[in-house]
Amino acid sequence: MSRYFLLLAFGFATLGLVLGLYMGIRQNHGQLVTHAHIMLVGFVLTLVYALCHRLWLGKPPAWLAKTQLAVHLMASLVFLSALFMLYAQWYSEDILGPVLGLSGIGVLLALLLMFWMLFRHPAMPSE
Ligand code: HEM
Ligand code: HEM
């Protein structure tokens, strides 16, 4: 699992840095919020999940770990795409607001699932 999260984190980092460089080159910081969240929700949070699997999680049920990964992946992709579309002014806030709200709740839900797994299935001291 930690490897999936690690590869995903670096995928997001690539996207986020390309967007950051694009903003710098174009001298147009309109996508600042999208860049910041791709780096923080996409890269940093995903990397933290990789470390959780590597260092602090014991053996949570496979279905639970897979569900947490799926919820985090789906919610982050929707959340970050909706942010990009909002700041690119492709669609109005009326349309994207509920999408951002629901996907944001999805990101939070995945965080709570990880919290639960860390609480219920900690690594043994020798692991
Ligand atoms: C190639 C590397 C990067 C480039 C070219 C880049 C570029 C930018 C630019 C142009 C802005 C907008 C600044 C503004 O308008 O005030 C920005 C903001 C930001 N970047 Fe990056 N960035 C890079 C790497 C990173 C990394 C590695 C992270 C975090 C892990 C990060 C997190 C942020 C955050 C949180 C903001 C928002 C700061 C604020 O609210 O003022 N960036 N970046
Ligand atoms: C689903 C989860 C999240 C939601 C709904 C959310 C929402 C927001 C909103 C509405 C803003 C203000 C944007 C603006 O200036 O117009 C913001 C800014 C910010 N958020 Fe988040 N956020 C989320 C997750 C995170 C996470 C996980 C981090 C850090 C690990 C983070 C770090 C920041 C930072 C540094 C800023 C200020 C930079 C900026 O202006 O973009 N956020 N967030």
Residue range 87-113, pLDDT digits in tens: 999 999 999 999 999 999 999 999 999
Read off the pLDDT of residues 71-86 as tens digits, 9 standing for 90 and up: 999 999 999 999 999 9
Please identify, by atom number, the ligand 2 atom nearest to the C-alpha of residue 108: 1
d(CA 109, CA 111): 5
Bridge partners of residue 57, in order along the sequence: 122
Q: What number of other Cβ atoms are within 10 A of residue 125's Cβ?
A: 5
CB neighbours of 57 closer than 8 A, spacing ≥ 6? 65, 117, 118, 121, 122, 123
Give the Å distance between the CA of 34 and the centre of ligand 2: 9
Give me the helices (H) in the chain, please: 2-26, 32-37, 46-51, 62-87, 93-120
Supply the pTM of this predicted model.
0.91
Q: Whose CA is nearest to atom 35 of ligand 2?
A: 36
Q: Is the CB of 44 under 6 A from ligand 1?
A: yes
d(CA 115, CA 1): 16
